[in-house]
């Protein structure tokens, strides 16, 4: 299994901000600023980063819910950005999404059976009795009781709603699922149930995941590969066991060291980061991280580092290391 399912190349997404009502000058939010990534079939790529780093926007670009300004996104070798409406519809059967908030991502006026059955309706597949059978099957797969199919979303708990969202995403047997913080709004004891479900489904249906989260323990658990994002750029991209053993980029290092450990006696060798994440509206020149970097040199503020391969097989964007 060494086949690339998705290849993202130099993708950029800028949003325009009007400076003032009369001002002709405009500012740009560089949400995703030249990102390249690959996700291989059957594997999970974990995308980590802090709020505003562009990880959700990247997910939306791959879903083509947003149109990138530059770059290409290949799905099974075909550029999805060139696909027409017809082609896109076919593509959407292959790529599905699970959202963070199971409260706002389900239509409150629809019964569970029509929420899970909607993908079939949109794509004109399975109707009538057959659709009902498929809905029942999907509900069983995600651990919901089929008798509950005529209830409305508000009659379910958060974890159960997330299961409904997962059933909907699975309906058309997609190849890729983009899971954008799929468990972060759930209680800890429920999180584990959903994570187990996602992993079971992956082996059952041969799914590929792009798993977006800020929870580093969770990303370590689910991922085969990990990409760390900071202000619209990937700063490190490596195999899970490699990056968790020893991250190379100073940002990854600080991020991993900031994650609280479960051992109250653990010696905290935390690498403190000063200040806040700078605004993506006007990111610092050169390496975006240089304003908070403990090991910066002159070159960092002038020249942008590129992702280059390292001896341990990782790709890292840093001048110093």
Partner 1 sequence: MAPLLEIKGLKTYFFTRKGIVKAVDGLDLHIDEGKTLGLVGESGCGKSMTALSIMRLVPEPMGRIVEGSILFEGTDLVKLSEPEMRRIRGNRISMVFQEPMTSLNPVLKIGLQLAEAIELHQGLSSKEAWQQSVEMLRMVGIPSPETRINEYPHQMSGGMRQRVMIAMALSCRPKLMIADEPTTALDVTIQAQILDLINKLKERVGSSILLITHNLGVVAEVAQSVGVMYAGHMVEYADVVALFKDPKHPYTVGLFQSIPQKRGRGKREKLQAIPGLVPDLLGLPVGCKFQDRCTRVFSRCKEEDPPWLTLDGGHKVRCWLYG
Report helix, strand and coil shares of the chain as percent, to nearest 5.
35, 25, 40
Work out the widest C-alpha separation in the chain, in whole angstroms: 68
Residue placing its CB nearer to partner 1 in the complex, 129 or 268: 268
Taking the complex as a whole, how short is the minimal distance between the CB of residue 291 and partner 1, in angstroms?
13
Rounded to the nearest whole angstrom, what is the least distance from the CB of residue 218 to partner 1 in the complex?
6
Of 120 and 152, the one with the shorter C-beta distance to partner 1 is 152
- Six-digit token string for 228: 């760390």
Hey, what are 124's tokens? 């004109």
Distance (Å, rounded) from C-alpha 5 to C-alpha 282? 33
Residues in the chain: 321
Residue 48 burial (CB < 10 Å; 0-12/13-18/19+)?
buried
In the complex, what is the shortest distance from the CB of residue 200 to partner 1, in angstroms, rounded to a whole number? 9
Nearer to partner 1, 68 or 250 (CB): 250
Residues of 102-140 as b/e, b for ≥16 C-beta within 10 angstroms? beebbeeeebbbebbbbbbeeeeebeeeebeebbbebbe
Binding site for partner 1 (CB under 8 A): 50-51, 157, 159-160, 187-193, 195-196, 199, 214, 216-218, 220-222, 240-241, 244-245, 254-255, 257-266, 268, 270, 272-273, 276-277
Nearer to partner 1, 74 or 199 (CB): 199
Nearest approach, Cβ of residue 237 and partner 1 (Å):
18
Distances (CA, A) of 115 to 47, 132, 157, 163, 188: 28, 12, 16, 12, 26
Q: How far is the CB of 251 from partner 1 (least distance, A)?
A: 9
Q: How far is the CB of 70 from partner 1 (least distance, A)?
A: 28
Q: How far, in Å, CA of 34 to CA of 49, rounded?
A: 16
Cβ closer to partner 1: 44 or 96? 44
Query: In terms of CB distance, is 136 or 199 closer to partner 1?
Result: 199
């Amino acid at each position: 299994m060494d086949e690339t399912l998705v290849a993202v190349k130099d993708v950029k997404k800028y949003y325009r901000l009007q400076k003032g009502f009369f001002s002709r000058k405009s500012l740009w939010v560089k949400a995703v600023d030249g990102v390249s990534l690959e996700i291989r079939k059957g594997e999970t790529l974990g995308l980590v980063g802090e709020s505003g780093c562009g990880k959700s926007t990247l997910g939306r670009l791959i879903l083509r819910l947003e149109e990138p300004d530059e770059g290409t996104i290949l799905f099974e070798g075909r550029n999805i950005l060139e696909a027409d409406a017809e082609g896109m519809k076919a593509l959407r059967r292959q790529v599905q999404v699970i959202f963070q908030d199971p409260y706002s991502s389900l239509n409150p006026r629809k019964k569970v059976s029509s929420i899970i059955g909607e993908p079939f309706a949109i794509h004109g597949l399975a109707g009538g009795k057959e659709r009902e059978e498929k809905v029942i099957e999907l509900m069983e797969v995600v651990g919901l009781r089929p008798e509950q199919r005529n209830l409305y979303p508000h009659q379910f708990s958060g974890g159960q709603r997330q299961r409904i969202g997962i059933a909907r995403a699975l309906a058309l047997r997609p190849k890729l699922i983009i899971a954008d913080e799929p468990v972060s709004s759930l209680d800890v004891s429920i999180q584990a149930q959903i994570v187990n479900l996602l992993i079971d489904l992956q082996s059952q249906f041969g799914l590929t995941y792009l798993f977006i989260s800020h929870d580093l323990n969770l990303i370590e658990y689910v991922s085969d590969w990990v990409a760390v994002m900071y202000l619209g750029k990937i700063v490190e991209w490596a195999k899970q066991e490699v990056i968790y053993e020893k991250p190379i980029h100073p940002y990854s290092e600080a991020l991993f060291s900031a994650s609280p450990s479960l051992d109250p006696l653990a010696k905290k060798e935390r690498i403190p980061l000063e200040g806040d994440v700078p605004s993506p509206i006007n990111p610092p020149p050169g390496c975006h991280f240089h304003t908070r970097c403990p090991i910066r040199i002159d070159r960092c503020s002038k020249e942008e580092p590129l992702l280059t391969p390292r001896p341990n097989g990782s790709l890292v964007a840093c001048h110093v290391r």
